[in-house]
A and B are shown apart, each in its own frame.
Chain A
Amino acid sequence: MPLEVAFLDALIPSLLIAFMVSVLLSWLIDWLFFSIKLYQHIWYRSLFRFALFICIFSLLGLSIY
């Protein structure tokens, strides 16, 4: 993967795209978990969400570099 991507002639880092994709992904997973009521079993919901996001983002980020 290239480190920078041209978007409308402006160079943006691919990490930013990875960030956005992982935001979308974690929203999707969040919605999924909410609908199967997984969150009722989790003590610290926001921490869980954040950790999930970090996992996804690191995965995507590591795959770029």
Chain B
Amino acid sequence: MKLGQFRKTRSLAIIRLSLREWLRDDALTIVYVTKVLIACLLAMWISLRFELDQPKTAMLTVAIVMQFRTGMVFAKSYYRLVGSIIGIVVSFVLVALFAQERVLFLASMAIWIGFCTAGSMMFRNHQSYAFVLAGYTICIVGLPATISPELTFSIGVTRISEIIIGLISASLISDLIFPQRVGEVMKAKIRKRFTDFLDMLNGMSIEKVSSFSPKSATLRIVSDVFELETFHASSGMENDASRTYRLRLSMLNAEFMAVSTSFHTLEQLLRRQNSYGNPFVIMALFNLYQLFQDVTAFYNCSVRGEVEAKLLADQLKYFRTSFQQKIDLMRKQLPINLVTNERLDYETGVELLKRVVDEFYVYTLTYASLGSKSSGATQHSIADQPPRLGMHFDSLSVALAGIRGGLSLIAMACLWIFADWRSGIEAITIGIITSTLFASSPNPRKTVNQFIIGAILGSILVYICNFELLPKAQGFLMLSIAVTPAIVIAAWLTTRPSYSTIGSGVFIIFLMHIGFNSIYSANPITFMNDAVADLLAIGTSGILYALIDLTNSSWSRKRVSKKLRELVISTCKEGLPQHPSLLETRARDLVQRMNGGHRVSNSQDKEMVDWLLSTLEIGRAVIEIREQSDEINDSDTKHQISECLDQIANLYMSPSIQNQIIAINSINLVVTSLETVEVLTKLPQCNHHQLLTMLHFIRCALLDKDSVLSLPNQSDERIGKYNYAS
């Protein structure tokens, strides 16, 4: 009897577990696919009802705009509308100017496409998408207009109505049927990031530091910051978060960047200490870190939400009050026979540790404040606006992308004109769509390959639909049934991350060729010609992506590394005030554009990440030094420091052993002069201390044999000699 009951409850539990799993994964996919289908059919019905001549444009709009999250749909719809309107207006202008001259018309179109492609590379997320649309809408409206210029206006107005119908149906359906809010995803992401970082803090130990440095974690953090920014931008459109809440999210992002850099810097310092420094110093630093870890680890198992974070913040606050005493105590316990440099090692480590603790405290506090509803509950003021994630890009690669976009149009246009090709317009349209749409993807060549597979699949589906199903269909219901299978397959493919490009290929090709307007209008010969034209056009843009490869070539990586180094130079030379978080966003943005949040796959990627980290740690130290030296009023010291910064900038301008030695020597010079008694009396205590520790930190970073600045072919002995010569 009892056994039977036990079995029953166990099988029930299994069923419940699998049901929950199903609800979490598969049910969501099914709901999403259904939503896409309903929105497509709704758009089709409305356009047919209004007797617009291309219901497929409305359906294509739905297919492009549909996303899992409601807020993302709103954001994408908005930018799609803006992009389309701009594209249509420009095509009116071009038709008005060059209606008789198709060569001039195509040439000016190529310039416009180039401009739009460049724009889509410059901006992120949905803004970039608006540029893409402004680019290819001109093909959809402008090219048919070259054949019959008198119809341009009516074509434009019809297209925009169809697009609006598509946008409205997509937004309505995704908002009304099982809406998936971005806000919730974002909360989960933020929580995960917090706990991940906490794990990282707790996971650090002597053994780990000495064996390797976890670069992939850092890279993940780089892409996290921008992913959250996307969600953040979209959640603004969902309109149910208050302004304070959104402001706090921005603060959280900035604070997270700061604390992750500081933590990485501390890690690097401990690693260097472990390999070159005095064992007593490293032990002392680790003991101090252990104290910090005790506080964070205590809550590690339970920090799930904002409430626990609040408790943690309180603990940290208490910890910070007594931390200075512990530092002083530890300093007294250090052996007496340490040389000055080893004492400086300790001071620098302590300084960084204090920075990590402070920044982590602020980060925890902001995170905790997300949970509280009232705006007055924040301890620190949110009056100062967090710096926005601006746009920082490599202008040369953006220009090249523009040229690539223009070239792909010119190539297709030449084919069209010289071969007097019937499907020329079709080919140009698809070619432009592929060459603008994928310009900002992390690996365009691979994306285009997937897109071709999708196009082939889409052509097969559209053939079946056009010539097997549609001729037998009568009325709206049967029409819907005929188009349903292809839409479902394509929508399902877009939900799988590894096939999503194939899915969008199927969607675009299928919906562009589907054979009905208000009546059945498919023709096998035209269809075959167009299908071949599509593949040819996609192939052409694929070749152009391969020829002008801006994301995967070693050339582009070198350029990003150089740009990163230039950031250090500009922090050394540009006027104050400089905000550390500005440096952070700039550097991270450069790398993120290159990498798209992927893993460090090869040594070149690794080198780039190394440069990023080096830029961040040295850049922040330089900013600190410049701020401190701005406060003191001893002109001799000031002059020395600025000379030393010039040498560091020089080193980053052209990294070589010689420049490295010069930079280290100039730091040594400043450090020795700072330690003389007369300077010591002239400067305020805290400025003096900060300057010394930061200079020492830069010196250690430059002396590091494993850093990216140390070129592989240099002789270790020479550097080693200078190490002790100081």
| A residues apposed to B, CB below 8 Å | 10, 45-47, 50
Contacts and interface: CB of A to CB of B under 8 A. Distances in A.
A32 to B, nearest CB: 14
Nearest to A45: B240
A13 to B, nearest CB: 10
B525 to A, nearest CB: 37
B536 interface: no
B211 to A, nearest CB: 52
B175 interface: yes
Contacts of A45: 240
A45 B175 CA distance: 10
6 contacts: A10-B153, A46-B176, A46-B179, A47-B176, A50-B175, A50-B176
Interface of B: 153, 157, 172, 175-176, 179, 240
Contacts of B175: 46, 50
Closest 5 CB pairs of A and B: A46-B175, A46-B176, A47-B176, A50-B176, A46-B179
A46 B172 CA distance: 9
Given A45-B240, A46-B179, 8 more contacts: A10-B153, A10-B157, A46-B175, A46-B176, A47-B176, A50-B172, A50-B175, A50-B176
Contacts of A46: 175-176, 179
Contacts of A10: 153, 157
Nearest to A44: B176
Nearest to A47: B176
A1 B71 CA distance: 38
Which of A45, A46, A47, A50 has the most B CB atoms < 10 Å from its CB?
A46
Contacts of B157: 10
A57 to B, nearest CB: 12
A62 B240 CA distance: 32
A46 B240 CA distance: 11
Contacts of B179: 46
Contacts of B153: 10
Nearest to A34: B239
A45 B722 CA distance: 69
Nearest to B174: A46
Nearest to B153: A10
Contacts of B240: 45
A50 B179 CA distance: 14
A40 to B, nearest CB: 11
Nearest to B175: A46
A1 B240 CA distance: 38
A10 B157 CA distance: 11
B180 to A, nearest CB: 12
A10 B158 CA distance: 13
Contacts of B176: 46-47, 50
B283 to A, nearest CB: 57
Contacts of B172: 50
A10 B160 CA distance: 15
Nearest to B238: A46
Nearest to B172: A50
A24 to B, nearest CB: 15
A45 B172 CA distance: 13
A45 B179 CA distance: 11
B181 to A, nearest CB: 10
Contacts of A47: 176
A47 B179 CA distance: 10
Nearest to B161: A16
A41 to B, nearest CB: 14
A44 to B, nearest CB: 8
Nearest to A46: B175
A42 to B, nearest CB: 12
B244 to A, nearest CB: 15
B449 to A, nearest CB: 39
A50 B168 CA distance: 12
A10 B153 CA distance: 10
A15 B240 CA distance: 30
A50 B153 CA distance: 32
A50 B176 CA distance: 8
A52 to B, nearest CB: 13
B71 to A, nearest CB: 12
Nearest to A49: B175
Nearest to A13: B50
A58 to B, nearest CB: 16
A10 B172 CA distance: 29
A9 to B, nearest CB: 11
A37 B175 CA distance: 20
A34 to B, nearest CB: 8
Contacts of A50: 172, 175-176
B171 to A, nearest CB: 10
A50 to B, nearest CB: 6
A1 B175 CA distance: 34
A3 to B, nearest CB: 15
A46 B178 CA distance: 11
A47 B175 CA distance: 8
A14 to B, nearest CB: 15
A47 B240 CA distance: 15
A10 B175 CA distance: 33
A50 B173 CA distance: 11
A39 to B, nearest CB: 8
Nearest to A50: B176
A25 B451 CA distance: 43
A6 B569 CA distance: 61
A46 B153 CA distance: 35
A50 B174 CA distance: 12
A6 B441 CA distance: 44
A10 B179 CA distance: 38
Nearest to A53: B172
A46 B73 CA distance: 14
A45 B176 CA distance: 9
Which of B153, B172, B176 has the most A CB atoms < 10 Å from its CB?
B176
A37 to B, nearest CB: 12
A36 to B, nearest CB: 15
A46 B237 CA distance: 13
A47 B491 CA distance: 25
A10 B154 CA distance: 10
A45 B153 CA distance: 39
B204 to A, nearest CB: 45
B85 to A, nearest CB: 15
